[in-house]
Structures are given as C-alpha cells and as structure tokens.
C-alpha cells in the first residue's frame, strides 16, 4: 500500500521536476548542449519547450498577481494568464496549506534538505505576516520591496546558476534560496513556517471558523508594520533624493517606463535567463534610485538586443515587461544611441570608420561628409531602437565606446516603414 507520505513525496518531486523543466523552456543553456554534443563546431540553438512556459513558474503565485494588480491599478485585469493564480487562490481558500505541502517546488527542496537537522530555534518569531503586508502596501505605493521573497520568484531566480547568467549583483537576491537551505539545517522548515509571505497569504485566506474581520483585527500589528514599511518605500526608496545617477536606464522592450517597471518587477529574472545575447542582466546601480536596484537592465557592452527576438516579453510573470509581437518589438524604441564626437574616429578625422553605420540593422545612422571627405555617423532618433549593436561593435574603447546608447524616459512605438 502506498502510504500518504510516499504519495506526497512522489507528487512533490513530480512538481519540482515539472517546474524545473518549465524554467528550462526556451533555448537550452549552452553548457548543456556542449555536454550533449562534445567536439568542436557551432552548436545550434535547441528549443524543446516554447519560451513562454517559463512564465508559469513565477506567474502562478497569487501574491505576485495581487501585487501586480495593485501596481497596474487593475488595467491589465483581462489578461488570461491571471487565471491560474486565481485557481491557486481558490485552493488556498478551501484547502489551506495544500499547495505548500503538495506542490510548491521551493518547499520540496527545503523539506528534502532539512530531513536531518539540529532542531534548534534560531528564529522563534513568525515574520511572514510583516513581509506579506509589507508587500501588499508597498505595492500600493509602487515599490514592492519584499516581492522578491515570493517563493516561486525565489525558485525561478535559482535558475540563474543553471543558465550561467549569474552576475555579481544578482548574487544578493539569489542568496535567499541557498541561505535558507543552510538555516533549515539548524531549524527545520524555517522558511515555510516563519518567513514565507505566500505561506502567510495561504493562512490568511484559508476558510475557518474565524471571520475575516476578526483575522484583520488579530493581524493589526502586522498590517501597521506593512503600512509603516510602505512609507519609506514611497518617499525615500523609490525616489532617492541622494541618487546621483539621473540618466534613464535601458529597460527590456515592453517595460514602458522606469517607474512602472520597478513597481512591477519581482526580480525573478526569468527574462534574464531567456535573453540569448546576455544584454539583459542584473545590475546594482548603487548611485541610482533604489527602485532600480537588482532589476534587470540592458548594457550594450555585454550584447545586443536582437532584432528578431522577443523572448523577454513572453516570460514576465507580473507584466512588468508587456508582451510584444515581433512587429511591435521591432518598432519599439528602448533607447537612443548618441555619438560622442570627441572620441569618434570619423569625427576626429583619424581614419575612415563607419562601423556603426555598417552594423545598424535599422539603417538608423546616416552619414554626413566632412570637408576633407570623411563620412561621419549621425544618429536618426526617429529610427534608432536602442538595440546597442553600434556601441557593441564600435572599435573605440577608451574605456567606453564612441557611440553609446542611453535610455529613454518612456519607450515608444516608432512607425518606421521598411
């Protein structure tokens, strides 16, 4: 006879493997392909599962659903992809912690790793309530400070290791997962019992004899802390008056503007993991507004935003990156390139160089001729999409390129005919 415990483990491991394979959707990581086909040569991109499946791991969390609902002010309510999160919410109401015990992939890992533990109590107090209400209220003011603690977002983030997209800045939010594995050895299930904000949401919504009004009364302390946390989130953290970096970041296509993006991004890094050129990575601009900390941004020295790719727009669980069709992505301006004339080989008349003009896939760089016959690049801001290939290919590095892409205040759809 299959005991209930054994059945639970089989189901849990099934969901763990399922969510892991969903995260691996889209182009498979290169090291894996190299293992599969050793030897020299070019390795073709292999896509076993369509890339949009990645979204279904962080996207089913009702917590990030609720948070993004607030930040969107309900305007994207019609999206069909919210449906699974609602189903999960219903499960919460009727079945309580069923999700945690049978489905949650993060819970499975934590439960498996603390089978042998020291049974100590390093964290006696439950802090999950404070985190939960902190997320709810800070989402309302547009900067969900602790949303990255959502367990499904945390699990998605672990994939950075697998895809080899880890950067220095992504280590800090990426540490949540391993740190609680270690803490779990001291105090079993410390994450699930004491910290997980989604777990608190489950407890709060589970139907019981206690009325919901009574629940609010009982949790007044947590709620007040949540409101208190949202005040600095609104005044200090979101718009850091001490930030010296004033220029706009280059955000993935479909992100809209800086404020909306940082209000919605749950730092799950699904977009980073599906970016084929690695232009999208986690940054830590410490001199910028805190809203930008640890969010995925583009840096054209790492790669270029490929003309025929809209991977990142397909995987965002919170809608921080809106889904764009190929045509819309092709016409979206995420930045504008600018020639730094003092550095440019052609403008300084040092040599005949029009590499940026050659590389621009959108024919957005024109040339003017100097008196002595040197063609010099001039960017057409109504055609430039900000893909960064000019900056990436520019032969000047002293240390920066002579043509650099800067972010735009608000991304817009261009209407260039080709």
Asked if 35 touches another protein (CB under 8 A), the answer is: no
CB of 274 to another protein, least distance (A): 13
Which pairs with CB-CB distance under 8 Å and at least 24 residues apart come from 93-99?
93/205, 93/206, 93/207, 94/207, 95/206, 96/202, 96/203, 96/206, 97/199, 97/202, 97/203, 97/206, 99/202
**Of 263 and 355, which has the nearer Cβ to another protein?**
355
Asked if 304 touches another protein (CB under 8 A), the answer is: yes
Query: d(Cα 309, Cα 171) in Å, to the nearest integer?
Result: 27
Asked if 309 touches another protein (CB under 8 A), the answer is: yes
Asked if 393 touches another protein (CB under 8 A), the answer is: yes
Element (H, E) at 407: strand 403-413
CB 356 within 8 A of CB 377: yes
Query: d(Cα 400, Cα 320) in Å, to the nearest integer?
Result: 30
* Total of chain residues touching another protein, rule CB under 8 A: 35
CB of 384 to another protein, least distance (A): 16
Element (H, E) at 15: helix 4-23
Task: Select the span of 39-47, 117-125, 195-203, 293-301 touching another protein (CB under 8 A).
Answer: 39-47
Q: List the one residue from 117, 206, 240, 306 that touches another protein (CB under 8 A).
A: 306
Residue 111 makes CB contacts below 8 A (sequence gap 6+) with 12, 189, 192
Q: List the one residue from 247, 351, 409, 417 that touches another protein (CB under 8 A).
A: 351
CB of 304 to another protein, least distance (A): 7
Q: What are residue 406's DSSP bridge partners?
A: 336
Asked if 367 touches another protein (CB under 8 A), the answer is: yes
**Of 285 and 361, which has the nearer Cβ to another protein?**
361
CB 308 within 8 A of CB 336: no
**Of 342 and 418, which has the nearer Cβ to another protein?**
418
Interface residue list for another protein (CB under 8 A): 27, 40-42, 44-45, 276-277, 303-304, 306-309, 345, 350-355, 357-359, 361, 363, 367, 375, 389, 393-397, 418
């Amino acid at each position: 006879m299959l005991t209930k415990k054994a059945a639970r483990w089989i189901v849990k491991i099934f969901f763990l493997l399922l969510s892991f394979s969903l995260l691996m959707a889209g182009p498979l990581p290169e090291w894996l392909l190299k293992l599969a086909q050793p030897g020299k040569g070019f390795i073709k991109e292999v896509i076993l599962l369509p890339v949009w499946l990645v979204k279904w791991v962080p996207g089913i969390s009702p917590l990030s659903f609720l948070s993004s609902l607030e930040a969107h002010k309900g305007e994207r309510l019609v999206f069909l992809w919210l449906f699974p999160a609602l189903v999960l919410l219903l499960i919460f109401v009727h079945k309580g912690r069923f999700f945690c015990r049978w489905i949650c992939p993060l819970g499975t890992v934590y439960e498996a790793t603390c089978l042998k533990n020291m049974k100590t109590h390093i964290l006696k107090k439950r802090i999950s309530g404070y985190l939960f209400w902190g997320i709810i209220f800070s989402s309302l003011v547009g900067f969900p400070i602790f949303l990255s603690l959502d367990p499904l977002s945390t699990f998605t983030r672990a994939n950075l290791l697998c895809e080899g997209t880890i950067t220095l800045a992504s280590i800090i939010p990426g540490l949540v997962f391993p740190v609680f594995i270690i803490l779990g050895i001291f105090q079993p299930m410390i994450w699930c019992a004491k910290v997980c904000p989604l777990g608190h949401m489950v407890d709060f919504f589970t139907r019981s004899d206690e009325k919901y009004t009574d629940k609010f009364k009982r949790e007044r302390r947590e709620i007040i802390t949540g409101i208190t946390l949202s005040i600095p989130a609104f005044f200090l953290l979101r718009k850091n008056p001490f930030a010296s970096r004033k220029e706009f970041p280059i955000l993935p296509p479909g992100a809209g503007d800086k404020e909306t993006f940082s209000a919605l991004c749950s730092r799950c890094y699904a977009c980073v993991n599906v970016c084929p050129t690695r232009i999208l990575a986690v940054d830590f601009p410490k001199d910028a507004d805190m809203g930008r900390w640890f969010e995925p941004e583009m840096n054209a020295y790492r790669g270029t935003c490929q003309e025929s790719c809209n991977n990142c727009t397909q995987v965002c669980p919170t809608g921080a990156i809106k889904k764009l069709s190929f045509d819309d992505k092709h016409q979206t301006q995420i930045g504008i390139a600018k020639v730094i004339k003092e550095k440019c080989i052609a403008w300084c008349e040092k040599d005949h160089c029009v590499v940026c003009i050659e590389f621009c896939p959108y024919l957005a760089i024109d040339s003017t001729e100097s008196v002595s016959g040197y063609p010099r690049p001039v960017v057409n801001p109504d055609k430039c999409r900000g893909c960064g290939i000019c900056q990436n290919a520019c032969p000047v590095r002293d240390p920066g390129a002579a043509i650099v892409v800067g972010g735009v205040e608000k991304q817009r759809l261009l209407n260039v005919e080709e």
